[in-house]
Structure 1
Amino acid sequence: MKKIHFIVNPIAGKGNKHIDETLLSSYFSKDHYEVRVKSTKYKGEAVVLTQESVSQGATIIVACGGDGTVNEVASVLVNSQCILGIVPIGSGNGLASHLKIPKDIEKALLLIQHEITTRIDVGSCNGTYFFSNTGFGFDAKVIRRYEGFTGRTLNSYLKACVVTFFNNKNEDSLVVTINGTKKYKDPFLIFASNSNELGYNFSLTPKASLQDGLLDVLIIPKMQKLQLVWFGVMLIFKRHLGLNGVVSYQTNKLDIIRNEGRYFESQMDGEYKTLEEIEVSIELLKDSIIVIN
């Protein structure tokens, strides 16, 4: 009998998606599965609940939520034989979208029922895992503002982008060195991605792969607002990588040193974080987690 546990974020997305044992009994019979449902009550609790499920012998642990919930659950399962499942009921759902996991709950549950698995790469930023992307600069500031809004919706995200763009001040001037060579003063954006989805069907790194052993890196230096508006236009048409001044490449390791400034503002899988370390080491861990897709 397989033990399958569901870690549910009840307020993910609009908070109107209900996953309980009654629903799951239609897909996972008591003759073959031992099903448990655990709901989170606060940010970070999915980590605790997943650790508990691992100790209880769960062989499949399903993250039901957005990218933040997936990150918390998956972080516990890196380099283990426990299988990650995803039911994307959040707002952005970047990783699930890349893996082509449907947003429809019933279709996502059917995928888990069929249990076709693959191994994917995992990103690490100073030892903290990310599965889609991590970024420094503008996108981190957008997420900081986005987290302050009541609802996590596409409209809230677009509003956060616009407000951040027109109020983008360098409260803490930053000079960074990339891989010990190139220096950037107050870079607009430093972005390292494992997947080709940023969320909401946006993509800064459209050629990124979860299985190529490489991170796709995008660096946008400090630009005038008119240049950045043009970048945004070209982003819509997925032609932004060819713009003058935009740096794009692939690597399995990226080192960023803070020469000035008190801290890094960052986001990892859509969650805002500040890093007080002087040096940030971002690397790719090949085939480090098993996921159902």
Structure 2
Amino acid sequence: MVLLHHVFIVNPTAGKGRAIEMIEKIHSRFKKLTDSYEIKVTKAAGHAVDLAKEASTRYCDVRIYAVGGDGTLNEVVNGMANNNAELGIIPCGSGNDAVRSLYQITDPVKLLEVLPLSPSSLIDLGKLNDRYFINIASIGFDAEVVLKTQYFKRFPFISGPMAYILGVFAALVLLKKYKLKMTIMNHGKIEKNVLLTIFANGSYYGGGMKPAPRAKTNDGLLDFCLVDATSRLGILKFFSTFRKGEHEGLDVVTILQGTRLLVESDQPFPINIDGEVSTETRAAIDLFPASLKVIIPAL
């Protein structure tokens, strides 16, 4: 029997303290196991990338756990990409969207109990420019929403889903449209004004919203959701169906699948990658099938 080494990367600010509370539970869990383990606490944004990279290159048989929110998970994924390490997710953030597409259970305490002894499975991994993503990347209105949502999350009495709803309404005040030139493999070129575009490996984001209801993390395809620019009233109507994953039949929505897409624009556009926002004028999106080992809970 191969003994594994387990590395827990904990974001102490995630989930308003929920992640840091897991440290004692990790110690307690491994008193019952013979495998070795260590706990690393991040000290700044980006630190989880370095910690995951160090662990994945230092150990041969290693499992690396992201203990935090979707941002922490994205950093861990970028640190361990292209290595043979196995990823475990202990969701302690406010949204925890990536885990919804991968696990049937999302309670961090229950996952800590089962993940160390569970098998792993290969899933696909997306990449936008030089950054990998396990769940969803997007351009446009929802990236603006993420910025506003992050502001509302600072208030302890506002939940993750409520912060997202407030972020939507705040972004409506300064509504923008984005003129994008898109080249999609096997679908040709599309040039249009859009509200947002979504590149989905998983199904959920925004605290449980379902922008890509048919997306699967192991089907070798990304789901592209292109939403035409529309009025404020049109956006409100759109989001009433978008939240539930019932938007695919709307006139303003185009759904495609593929493995490669290039987006260009004369004006900078906001990009959201697993909850982290940046600004670009060019975005190359690629899918790498069956390229990341993820521990799947044995129920």
Secondary structure at the counterpart of residue 16 of structure 2: coil
Inter-partner Cα distance in structure 1 for 2:98 and 2:190: 30
Q: In the alignment, which residue of structure 2 is the partner of 1:195? A: 202
Q: In the alignment, which residue of structure 1 is the partner of 2:162? A: 155
Q: CA shift at 1:237, angstroms?
A: 4.5
Q: In the alignment, which residue of structure 2 is the partner of 1:248? A: 255
Q: Which amino acid counterpart does residue 178 of structure 1 have in structure 2?
A: M
The aligned runs of 1:19-168 (5 Å cut-off) are: 19-20=22-23, 22-29=24-31, 32-57=34-59, 59-100=62-103, 102-149=105-152, 150-151=154-155, 153-168=160-175
Inter-partner Cα distance in structure 1 for 2:103 and 2:57: 30
Q: CA shift at 1:184, angstroms?
A: 1.1
- Given the two structures, how large is their TM-score scaled by the length of structure 2? 0.89
- Segment of structure 1 superposing worse, 147-156 or 217-226: 147-156
Q: In the alignment, which residue of structure 1 is the partner of 2:272? A: 267
Gaps of 5+ in 2: none
Q: CA shift at 1:30, angstroms?
A: 7.6
Q: Which amino acid counterpart does residue 85 of structure 1 have in structure 2?
A: G
* 1:147-181 deviations in Å (ceiling 9; x for gaps): 334247322222111111232246xxx42111162
Runs of 4+ in 1 over 6 A off after TM superposition: none
Q: Percent identity, please.
A: 30
Inter-partner Cα distance in structure 2 for 1:161 and 1:135: 15
Contact persistence 1:121–1:284 (CA under 8 A)? yes
Inter-partner Cα distance in structure 1 for 2:242 and 2:140: 17
Q: In the alignment, which residue of structure 1 is the partner of 2:13? A: 11
* 1:109-168 deviations in Å (ceiling 9; x for gaps): 122122211110000111210111111110110112223342473222221111112322
Q: Which amino acid counterpart does residue 54 of structure 1 have in structure 2?
A: S
Contact persistence 2:196–2:226 (CA under 8 A)? yes
Contact persistence 2:271–2:280 (CA under 8 A)? yes
Q: In the alignment, which residue of structure 2 is the partner of 1:183? A: 191
Q: In the alignment, which residue of structure 1 is the partner of 2:285? A: 282
The aligned runs of 1:206-225 (5 Å cut-off) are: 206-225=213-232
* 1:43-91 deviations in Å (ceiling 9; x for gaps): 1110111122234426111100111101111112223211111100011
Q: 1:64 to 1:281 in 2, by over 3 A?
A: same
Q: CA shift at 1:268, angstroms?
A: 0.1
Q: Give the CA RMSD over aligned residues.
A: 1.9
- Segment of structure 1 superposing worse, 34-43 or 143-152: 143-152
